[in-house]
């Protein structure tokens, strides 16, 4: 089985060859019932895209410590604990006070 797709870096078709093992055949049979109009190559593309989407959902955008700082800042803002800075001079004074 050959799976072709556009390669963004070279702009031509790249191919991936897969051996159709009993495990792959079983997966394809299941997915074929879900995606009846797609070819096996298209089913594999869809399955990989779904897997990728699921995997990246679990990747945190920031580390745990940064997440805590952001949460505290949002809580402080919500409760009115913030400094309003409207001019460059106010910003300079505030930064000098830190």
Tokens representing residue 26 in the block: 């079983």
List the domain range (segments joined by +) for residue 91: 64-97
The string of DSSP codes covering 32-65 is HHHSTTS-HHHHHHHHHHHHHHHHHHTS-SS-HH
Total structural domains within the chain: 2
71 shares a domain with 33: no
Does residue 28 contact residue 43 with C-beta atoms inside 8 Å? Answer: yes
Is the per-residue pLDDT at 1 higher than 90?
no
> Residues 2-30: pLDDT tens digits?
555 444 554 556 888 889 999 999 999 99
Q: What is the pLDDT of residue 90?
A: 92
Q: CA-CA distance, 97 to 88, in Å (whole number)? A: 14
69 shares a domain with 37: no
> Residues 52-95: pLDDT tens digits?
999 998 888 888 899 999 999 999 999 999 888 999 999 999 99
Mean pLDDT of all residues belonging to the chain: 86
């Amino acid at each position: 089985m050959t799976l072709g797709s556009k390669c963004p870096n070279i702009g031509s078709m790249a191919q991936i060859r897969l051996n159709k093992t009993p495990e792959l055949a079983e997966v394809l049979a299941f997915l074929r019932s879900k995606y009846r109009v797609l070819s096996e190559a298209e089913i594999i593309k869809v399955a990989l895209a779904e897997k990728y989407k699921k995997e990246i959902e679990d990747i945190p955008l920031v580390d745990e410590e940064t997440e805590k700082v952001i949460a505290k800042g949002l809580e402080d803002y919500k409760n009115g604990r913030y400094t309003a800075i409207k001019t460059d001079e106010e910003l300079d004074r505030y930064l000098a006070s830190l």
